[in-house]
């Protein structure tokens, strides 16, 4: 476990460095091309600022994007039962109680975010709360707590937020290359003539970003998501001492046909199961951020506790 924690911290450090290098490199190239040194200054400022933001506030952005609301201690009976379930597992795992969130959606799913166990959050959909038994839900929560304890949440939170920034920059550059101002107004005919060469260069950079951003995102997810899911399954099963609980939960999640309404490609790798329903093709399975559920279930049922 300690090796996993160290590895996750190291991966996060290198990911932030790569992000800084990419944005500063683009800023440097743009400042030379347009002979405007201030572009490099803003590139450095934005890249450092967004790295800081992803570490300290990335989890809040992800929870907001997912439509999650925090469960309070004085909430309804059903919600307080969830809190007590998490509390008991945290005592067993030796973890502080994370913030608990609910997402109003019939699709059963869950995820954890944060930068460390002291600043962690767990989000559950109303679908997973309603459709699983107590034992099955316990297995799911134990899986998410394993992500917290192993510091998987730090790496995945930073990955999601920084890659989201790259996609937003690509979108902005694409709009700018088409002669659209930040307010969405089209440039005048004379301005287009004056800036035609600059817009052409910006369009090339935008295309590179638009092509590479999703590829980069998928490669990062493939590198970090699959193995950590197996590890979290095993760690969660060790926490509850009942692997069958999580195995049965995963079976129900596999059979459910609801798709998460607020799911998006940026946050898909955070969830316990892929929020997008699969077609089952070989290529799709190879590029999925999650290992096949059948293999995860088989691995759980092969555990002898």
Say which of 136, 138, 144, 229 is annotated catalytic. Answer: 144
In whole angstroms, give the CA distance from residue 163 to residue 202: 20
Assess whether 251 carries a catalytic annotation.
Answer: no
Token pair of 162 as six digits: 């920084």
Residue 161 contacts by C-beta under 8 Å, 6 or more apart in sequence? 50, 53, 54, 58, 61, 62
53: exposed, middle or buried (Cβ count in 10 Å: 0-12, 13-18, 19+): middle
272 is written with which tokens?
Answer: 């316990």
d(CA 206, CA 169) in angstroms, rounded, equals: 8
- Give the residue numbers annotated as catalytic, written as ranges: 144
């Amino acid at each position: 476990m300690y090796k996993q924690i160290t590895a996750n911290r190291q991966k996060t450090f290198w990911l932030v460095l790569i992000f800084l290098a990419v944005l500063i490199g683009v800023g440097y190239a743009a400042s030379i091309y347009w002979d405007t040194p201030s572009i490099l200054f803003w590139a450095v400022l934005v890249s450092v600022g967004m790295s800081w933001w992803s570490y300290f506030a990335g989890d809040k952005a992800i929870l907001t994007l997912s439509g999650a609301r925090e469960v309070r201690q004085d909430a309804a009976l059903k919600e307080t039962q969830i809190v007590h379930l998490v509390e008991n597992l945290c005592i067993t795992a030796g973890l502080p109680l994370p913030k608990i969130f609910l997402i109003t959606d019939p699709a059963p799913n869950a995820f954890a975010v944060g930068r460390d166990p002291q600043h962690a959050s767990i989000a559950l959909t109303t679908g997973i709360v309603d459709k699983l038994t107590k034992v099955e839900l316990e297995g799911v929560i134990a899986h998410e707590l394993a992500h917290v304890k192993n510091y998987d949440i730090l790496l995945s939170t930073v990955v999601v937020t920084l890659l989201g920034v790259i996609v937003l920059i690509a979108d902005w550059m694409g709009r700018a290359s088409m002669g659209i101002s930040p307010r969405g107004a089209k440039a005048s005919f004379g301005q287009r003539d004056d800036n035609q060469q600059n817009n052409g260069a910006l369009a090339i950079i935008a295309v590179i970003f638009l092509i590479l951003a999703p590829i980069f995102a998928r490669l990062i997810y493939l590198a970090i998501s699959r193995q950590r899911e197996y590890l979290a399954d095993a760690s969660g099963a060790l926490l509850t001492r009942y692997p069958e609980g999580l195995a049965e939960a995963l079976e129900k999640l596999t059979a459910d046909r609801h798709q998460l309404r607020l799911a998006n490609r940026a946050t898909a790798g955070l969830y316990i199961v892929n929020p997008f329903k699969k077609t089952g093709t070989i290529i799709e399975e190879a590029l999925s951020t999650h290992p096949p559920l059948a293999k995860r279930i088989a691995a759980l049922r092969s555990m002898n506790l």
